[in-house]
Amino acid sequence: MTTLTDPPKESFRLSMLLNDTRYRSLTFQAVAAIALALAIWYLGNNLIQNLRAAGLNISYSFLGDSAGYDINQRLIEYDSQSSHARAALVGLLNTLLVAFLACITATVFGVIAGVLRLSNNWIVSKLMAVYVEIFRNIPVLIWIIIIFTIMTAVMPGPREFRGDTPTASMALDLFAFTNRGVYTPMPFFENGLFGSATLNWVLVLLVAVGSWYATRAVNTRATNTQAETGVRPNTLWTNLAIWLVPFIALMFIMGLAWEVPELKGFNFKGGIKIGGPLIALWFALSIYTGAFIAENVRAGIQAVSKGQTEAASALGLRPNKVMNLVILPQALRVIIPPLISQYLNITKNSSLAIAVGYADITATLGGITLNQTGRAIECVLLLMLFYLTASLLISMAMNVYNASVKLEER
């Protein structure tokens, strides 16, 4: 009788790193990682030696020096005596502002144009096709300059709002549209709960987040009820109450008031100023990127089987309900991945703001600050770090959303 035993385990040999397929890929990856690390070390060491030979060193102490220049469009307090770090922060916030606004409006333009490109109306579909082909095939820089030039040439100047017979007037006595920008009323709290206006607005933001979570819970409960009974409860008035009651109470307690812009001297004072460069950059990025998003939306809709549309129509759903409830939710799995790239492009294309004088982080840190201090390496490294961080955060947020809307297979 024979006894079956396990074969003896083979001892590890160095030759297995290349000859054994179990270790070969790991070997190549390790060699590539070591080569990359050595290349980075060599370049970094070479840079340090060249700087030392030129009597220079990498230092960020210049960020504490006085900037010495003004910035018109800003979200936080700043003057010419502020530090370069403060100026860079103003530019960073300006970049995030225009990128956020452009992402929202570009998405709206893209979804509308993408849906209308598939319209049965021949004129509407061809008009959307013309929009897509024109705007996505002309560089965004040209659109920025065109919109800024038209705005400064067509819109009235502040002096046209003055005099006994002014040639221009404020819309509703609240909004002023000029060639320098748009002036709108600014909300503020007369009886704020905190000494800082920022903390008061943080409280408003927290109330908004709480209302959003509350409405989400109500809608989830309604969905579960519909799944159990087949009837969905009406949540419209509940959701309105969740949003309106806390805000009305908060605005009443804190005393919400409005600062209306007024013409004083040679310009408007008070309120919120949305500068012409910001408007031109915002609108140009929106219509340019919206053309690309429109193609993504069209491809996503066409990726959904026509049988889905026919089945929904057979159930008696109207075309708008079919699009909102059946087609678009399924098309998101195709739309969102390329949409991430478009959001990244908006953030990076905002660096063209210097063409119209908008003080983004490229214009402040990578422009004026770099020229004044001569710290090119430090400024460029900070710019690279900002755009890299912003791109990674956008990708992470959109990937999380993409995972939440993907189709779940049985």
* Residue 399 confidence (pLDDT) above 60: yes
Give CA torsion, residues 274, 76, 355, 365, to 10 deg. Answer: -170
| Separate counts of helices (H) and strands (E) for the chain | 14, 7
Across 291-320, average pLDDT: 81
248: tokens are: 């009305």
Three-class secondary structure of residue 317 per DSSP: coil
Closest to 179 (Cα-Cα) out of 283, 269, 284, 277: 277
Q: Running DSSP on this structure, what letter comes out for residue 400?
A: H
Q: Strands, E, within 221-358: which ranges?
A: 256-259, 262-264, 267-269, 272-275
- Give the C-alpha separation, 378 to 386, whole Å: 12
Residue 90 to residue 111: CA distance in whole angstroms: 32
Inter-axis angle of helices 197-229 and 236-254, nearest 10: 170
Query: Sign of the CA dihedral 378, 384, 387, 393?
Result: negative
Q: Is the pLDDT of residue 410 over 60?
A: no
pLDDT at 7: 59
For 128-132, 150-154, 232-236, which range has the lowest pLDDT when averaged over its residues? 232-236
* Alpha-helical runs (H) found in 155-275: 197-229, 236-254
C-alpha–C-alpha distance, residues 327 and 322, integer Å: 6
Q: What is the pLDDT of residues 117-130, one digit of tens each?
A: 888 888 888 898 89
- Do 69 and 80 form a contact (C-beta atoms < 8 A)? yes
Q: What would the pLDDT profile of 88-137 be if each residue is shown by its tens digit? A: 888 899 899 899 999 999 999 998 888 888 888 888 888 988 988 888 88
| Domains in the chain: ranges and CATH | 84-185+260-405 (1.10.3720.10)
First to last CA, the chain: 51
Name every residue whose Cβ is closer than 8 Å to that of residue 147 and which is 6 or more positions away in sequence: 279, 280, 283, 284
- pLDDT band for position 15 (cuts 50, 70, 90): low
CB burial class (10 A; 0-12, 13-18, 19+) of residue 135? buried
Whether 331 contacts 301, CB under 8 Å: yes
CA distances from 109 to 116, 250, 272, 289 (A): 11, 34, 25, 9
pLDDT at 5: 59
Q: Give the Cα-Cα-Cα angle 101, 107, 110 (nearest 5 degrees).
A: 135
Which amino acid, residue 334? V
How high is the pLDDT of residue 409? 56
Q: Residue 394 pLDDT > 90, yes or no?
A: no
* Radius of gyration, CA atoms only, the chain: 29
